[in-house]
Chains A and B, each alone.
Chain A
Amino acid sequence: DIQMTQFPSTLSASVGDRVTITCRASQSISNWLAWYQQNPGKAPKLLIYKASSLESGVPSRFSGSGSRTEFTLTINNLQPDDSATYYCQQYNTYPYTFGQGTKLEIK
């Protein structure tokens, strides 16, 4: 199985800051990578697909980049609502696999 490793595991930042979350795949997944935001007790919400495509309705403060094995999610101008856990997911190879999550706290 392809292992997805995210870092950092936790992140604390202030309103207005820019943060970056990294996701590393154990082998090349081309650009078949998605980023999700999940709040407690809720289903994941798609933010970015195919590594860098912004899902409709998601603020442009969110952006994704990368290819093959190294990917990043950047959130500009952090807002209080951005407090959540963020997951990456590869959907290049079965079984599809997720990162362990990055918990973002807004100070």
Chain B
Amino acid sequence: AQSVTQLGSHVSVSEGALVLLRCNYSSSVPPYLFWYVQYPNQGLQLLLKYTSAATLVKGINGFEAEFKKSETSFHLTKPSAHMSDAAEYFCAVSDLDGYSTLTFGKGTMLLVSP
């Protein structure tokens, strides 16, 4: 079974600093990977997804992620944090053998201080 692990339940950065949210996957085959963001009292919104077309994936709101097979990682980055980036971020892997259901990590809460 495929799974993802997000390191750090909380990450704190200052406004303007680099954002790095970590995600490692476990899969016997190259997976399809997703990053979603969840703002308080809202549903999840897709930031970006890796579908094997390119290892560096650019998403919305200035976020990007790089797929590294050798490290089984798909870390999310943003060069300069903004106060509006404060939210919970989830990494997810798609079920390749079934019906494309998503298996999510436990999430990382990003806190941005002025």
Interaction A to B: no
